[in-house]
Structure 1
Amino acid sequence: MDDVSTPPPAPSTPPAPSAAAPAAPAVPELRADCSSCFALCCVALPFARSSDFAVDKAAGTPCSHLRQDSRCGIHTRLRDKGFQGCTVFDCFGAGQQVSQVTFGGRDWRAHPDTARRMFDVFPVMRQLHELLFYVTEALTLPDAAPVHTELREALTRTTRWTHADAPALEALDVGALRQEVSTLLLRAGELVRAKAPGRGKNHRGADLMGARLRGADLRGANLRGACLIAADLSRADLRTADLIGADLRDTDLRDADLRGALFLTQAQLNAARGNPATRIPPTLTRPAHWH
């Protein structure tokens, strides 16, 4: 297999573009395109038997439901078959970036020497794409203008990393990059939340599992990383609430107002419960299981 015994030191800046490469590569697509991916989420990632997954699976091992054409054999029945975790996972477009850009369209099945490195790079790329998703949103927020210059720099730097080769991505200290960008996103969120009526409460990282917050006014609240599993947020007003990293598994969002919620992802919505009256940002899609 294509491997290196000792990775090079983690660089602090993206590799310099070659003379033929653009100084600032275009931001990659941040929506998953499974038709252009080699089913990396179904192979590279591990999962444990739980309420989210019906079986155990080791990293680098294809899911038993993965077909030879890189499609899921139970895609339309994932929830019924006990694979709810698959329905709420979002690679933010990292799968096709690794498959088509990093590895130039070489499928791990046809080129087994690439498999190990491809599976190692995928989680790194997924984190880079997630950062790009958040930074791109932050740049659309007028109230966050004071930090836009730094955010644009972060966007360019992170985008360059998504065009790096596999060895460079393996050596990248993605945790340090996440921390750097997270600081900028926190500042952007604070600038927006400062304009919210009454300035929302700080529930950052709070354990709100099962909390009864029906009809609560959470405009401008800091809910970063909060555990809201099975919490009742029905009829709650979450406009301009910062939801980055909040765990919304089985959260009741029926009749809630999420318009303008900060850093809300499709995966978070997919993990929650809602209904036709739940108001969501126009950039996201109402989950099919919301009734």
Structure 2
Amino acid sequence: MSGRYEHAKTDPSDYRTALRADCESCFGLCCVALPFAASADFALDKAAGRPCPNLQPDFRCGIHDSLRRQGFKGCTVYECFGAGQKVSQVTFGGRDWRQAPASAEAMFESFAVMRHLHELLWYLNEALAHLATRPFRDELSRVLEETEQLTGLDAASLLQVDIASCRERANALLLRTSELVRSEAIRSLKVPSKRRKAFGRGADLIGTNLRGADLRAANLRGAYLIAADLRGADLRAADLIGADLRDADLGGANLTGAIFLTQPQINAAKGDAGTKLPPSLIRPEHWNAPGTLA
């Protein structure tokens, strides 16, 4: 796959490592701060701020290797974009919520804010890595730097951050990125005009048969693709920001060059050895489980 719409040749370690969960450096924040309800994703109810019964004294998960088998599928889908270790080691200086129970509530609330900011950093870094964004690279860099600075605030200041405003400012640049990248992909990949699908944000494609579909450079922002059949589909340069891929079948699909695709989306989908992913994403371990695509 060649063409001007490809990612710029940047060192992927610049952001992909820092914006990925490092559980060894975290105080199990997602296992405590977040609530969940008994469902197909979780085997029991847990209130926000209450430790999961599987959380061990060392903040590791006691059933990490068998989460899906024991009814905790939702845990294998979640990704904090590195917010957990940032709050644990930077915002709170390595002092955990067990050592300092008076700070627990502030730590858990900070984790929620930091997760939003780190997700924005992932998108902004990806936008900068596209050659098509050269015309407004300075603006992208400025917004990224300002967002990064917010992640270094103390807990009290962090909780005052207007996340909606941050998202609005970043989204204008991400939309512009999408339009330019997809336009160049259409020319580079010679996508026929009649196949330039633009479903629009929030398109309802739940359970839709899109097997083998040509979705190159498609606008699938916020699309509901829950349980959709995307086996063998060509999704190169498709914008998938916010798309719901829960149980979508991506067996044999080509997602190389897909725009704003994240690890949680891939974790929630089904795939196989033939699924082609962007280099920034990791093939979920459960995709390799014998006899299953889930």
Query: Quick check: TM above 0.5?
Result: yes
Which runs of 4 or more aligned residues in structure 1 lie more than 4 Å from their structure 2 counterparts after TM superposition?
none
Of residues 229, 245, 248, the one that matches 1:248 is: 245
| CA distance in structure 2 between the partners assigned to 1:75 and 1:254 by the alignment | 25
2:133 aligned partner, one-letter code:
A
How many matched pairs?
266
| CA distance in structure 2 between the partners assigned to 1:44 and 1:289 by the alignment | 25
Matched, 1:228 2:225: yes
Considering fraction of residues, name the structure with more helix: 2
TM-score after normalising by structure 2: 0.88
| CA distance in structure 2 between the partners assigned to 1:174 and 1:203 by the alignment | 24
Once the 2 structures are TM-superposed, how far is the Cα of residue 61 of structure 1 from its aligned partner?
Answer: 0.5
- Counterparts of 1:1-291 in structure 2 under 5 Å? 29-195=18-184, 196=186, 197=191, 198=193, 199-291=196-288
Q: What SS does structure 2 have at the residue aligned with 1:222?
A: coil
2:33 aligned partner, one-letter code:
A
Once the 2 structures are TM-superposed, how far is the Cα of residue 283 of structure 1 from its aligned partner?
Answer: 1.8
| CA distance in structure 2 between the partners assigned to 1:101 and 1:242 by the alignment | 33
Q: Is 1:203–1:221's contact at 8 Å kept on the other side of the alignment?
A: no
Once the 2 structures are TM-superposed, how far is the Cα of residue 200 of structure 1 from its aligned partner?
Answer: 3.6
Question: Any idea what the Cα deviations from partners look like across 1:113-164, whole Å, max 9, x if unmatched?
Answer: 1101001110000000000001000101011222322111111000000000
| CA distance in structure 1 between the partners assigned to 2:224 and 2:252 by the alignment | 20
Q: Which runs of 5+ in 1 are unaligned?
A: 1-25
Aligned partner of 1:6 in structure 2 is none
Once the 2 structures are TM-superposed, how far is the Cα of residue 58 of structure 1 from its aligned partner?
Answer: 0.7
Q: What SS does structure 2 have at the residue aligned with 1:290?
A: helix
- Report the more deviating stretch, 192-201 or 205-214: 192-201
| CA distance in structure 2 between the partners assigned to 1:55 and 1:176 by the alignment | 35
Q: Percent identity?
A: 60
Aligned partner of 2:10 in structure 1 is none
1:256 aligned partner, one-letter code:
A
RMSD: 1.3
Kindly tell me: are residues 275 and 284 of structure 1, through their superposed partners in 2, closer, same or farther at Cα, counting changes over 3 Å? same
Q: What SS does structure 1 have at the residue aligned with 2:62?
A: coil
Q: Is 1:42–1:62's contact at 8 Å kept on the other side of the alignment?
A: yes
| CA distance in structure 2 between the partners assigned to 1:190 and 1:42 by the alignment | 38
Q: What SS does structure 2 have at the residue aligned with 1:289?
A: helix
| CA distance in structure 2 between the partners assigned to 1:226 and 1:133 by the alignment | 20
| CA distance in structure 1 between the partners assigned to 2:235 and 2:135 by the alignment | 24
1:220 aligned partner, one-letter code:
A
Q: Which runs of 5+ in 2 are unaligned?
A: 1-13, 289-294
